[in-house]
Amino acid sequence: MTTETTETTERRWNKPLPNIDLDNKAFWDGLRDHQLLLWTCSTCGTQYWPKCYCIKHENEPYAQNMSWQPGSGRGKIFALNRHHWAFHPGFQDELPYIYALIELDEGPLISTTIVGKQPTDLVSAVGEPVQIVYEDYAELGFTIPRFELIDA
Amino acid sequence: MTDRQRIAVVGLGTVHDAPPGTSQRMMAAEAARLAIADAGLSISDIDGALDLRRSGGGGDRSTYSDVFTRVLGLPAQFYFTVGRGGAVAGLATAVATGFLDRGLANYVVCVGAVDDYTKAQLTKKQGQRGMAHVEKEGYWGKALGDLRAVSHHSWMASRHMAEYGTTSEQLGAIAVAQRAWACMNPEARMYGRPITIADHQASPLVAEPYHLLDISQISDGAVAFVLTTEDRARDCAQKPVYVQGQGFGEVAADLWWEKKNYTTMAVAPAKQKAFAQAGLSGVEDLDVVQLYDCFTAEVLFQLEDYGFCEKGEGGKWVEAGHTAPGGTVPLNTGGGLLSNKHLGDLTGFSEAVLQLRGQAGERQVPDCEVALTTGHGGELVSPGLCSIHTSTILGVA
């Protein structure tokens, strides 16, 4: 796997397709523009992912007091595992891969694989700082968010 | 609840090894037939049926939802699906209680059936590994390599390791203890195959930190049980096993972004209610414990959260052998999902009933009168981890 963020139309996608639905379409559009959007309360600024009502006060109907706003794309590893089995053949070439739960600096949790330099020890990797990397599949019309380790 | 009758489990039916090619609907119907016969009842007595599914509302019509009652010829006046992952035994019991309590039914049969093993063999040919079931469409992680329960449940183990210093060998102690119990259960898949910590460590890494021996079985089979009111229960063929207390908890109530549900489960509210209803003062009042064990860390968390040991101390505690045969807490005495079979998330519930009836053979816990059986299931929205915990106290007194 490459960790470049440049557009690579030749990348093959042989995995399950991401689920893009009414609630998260804007989020996936943001990834295509290389932005990690977080669902943000215009009243108090609290950020969420995925889309939901703000828990801190009364909301407008259909959470219209909230909108998708860019986040920092930085966070730290909250929990992780290393897959040694491919449960779907499309992941065979990536084995073993680190699948991590990331605690974003803004608070929400999001999960994906770690690309580039790989954590060696699963326990000491908890708390390691990471940032988002965008993996484009232009022909398919989506961008997959990955994360990579960065220096603190 | 003093003005209401207690509800009792009066019949139990288990399909362990169906002939090859047996459908889920036939396994469900057969388990129900066995449970009804076990209670000394006939099919015409049953007036309510619950279909216990893995997915909430996932009434897969072509498998057995909307089907098994007709296969069996049940004259049920109502029939519907209850589903939330591994929580179905507790949820179904609560639902059936309402129908019995209100006089809407006299006898309710609850059935869960799975053909995961057969399906896994088929999908192996397509290059997939493990259980055939994959997370549903719409699940966040599917495109990102998160395809099975182990893909996200193993986070809980790694998080507990990071927070409390728990080791893989300590998780292995849970698997080893349950295997020892399975070796006293001739119906267990792993009967006659004891394991050591070294075997656990040498078993393949699947989603590290989980080894293969941290993961529950993939099985074909079914479990059914019949519930009725106390007065009717006295006339049934088996010793009644009473539902003494029930409680539920949702880690969703803690909200996933508060990040509490990675080293604890929603045990506190479930335990508080169930133990109070049953009149128990604490875990020391339990004779046998069947904790939901889809993976080893779930057992560890529950041991801590119920108060068998201090939070974070579970690793050392299981390592000391407390849950193995001869230990202080008879835990998952049939071998559990890890070493017995994964029978539609009802393995622990059925083992509790057998123990309370005194029908557990070589593994029988002496003077067994009070059992805790738990469930754990459902998925939060992404990032997804199971959120519901059910606590059910069964007893014969």
Q: How far is CA A144 from the centre of its chain?
A: 8
Amino acid code (one letter) for B283: V
In A, which residues are within 8 Å of B154 by CB distance? Answer: 81
In A, which residues are within 8 Å of B132 by CB distance? Answer: none
Amino acid code (one letter) for B215: I
Residue A98: closest CA among B122, B302, B342, B145: B145
**A18-33 mean pLDDT:** 94
pLDDT in tens, A48-100: 998 989 999 999 999 999 999 999 999 999 999 999 999 888 999 999 999 99
**A88-117 mean pLDDT:** 94
Across the strands, what pairs with A144? Answer: A135
What pTM was computed for the model? 0.93
Contact A40, A72 (CB under 8 A): no
Query: What is the per-residue pLDDT for A61?
Result: 97
In B, which residues are within 8 Å of A91 by CB distance? Answer: 145, 147
**Residue B376 corresponds to which tokens in the numbers above?**
């754990």
Whether the per-residue pLDDT at B251 is higher than 50: the answer is yes
Query: What is the per-residue pLDDT for B62?
Result: 47
CB contact under 8 A, B151 and A87: yes
Residue B292: closest CA among B109, B86, B105: B86
Q: In angstroms, rounded to a whole number, what is the distance separating the alpha carbons of residues A149 and A108?
A: 18
CB contact under 8 A, B145 and A97: yes
Considering only alpha carbons, which residue of chain A is nearest residue B136?
A: A19
DSSP string, B109-164: EEEEEEEHHHHHHHHHTTT--S-S--PPTT-GGGGGT--SHHHHHHHHHHHHHHHH
pLDDT-derived band at B85, boundaries 50, 70, 90: confident
Q: Which residues contact B72 (CB under 8 A, 6 or more apart)?
A: B29, B32, B33, B43
Which residue do the tokens 């489960």 mark?
B265
B257 at the A interface (CB within 8 A)? yes
Please state the three-class secondary structure of A28-81 as a single string: HHHHHCCCCEEEEECCCCCEECCCCCCCCCCCCHHHCCEEEEECCCEEEEEEEE
pLDDT in tens, B372-381: 999 998 765 4
Contact B259, A78 (CB under 8 A): yes
In A, which residues are within 8 Å of B383 by CB distance? Answer: 101, 109-111
Residue B343: closest CA among B19, B54, B33: B54
CB contact under 8 A, B144 and A144: yes
In which element (H, E) is residue B208 found? Answer: strand B205-208
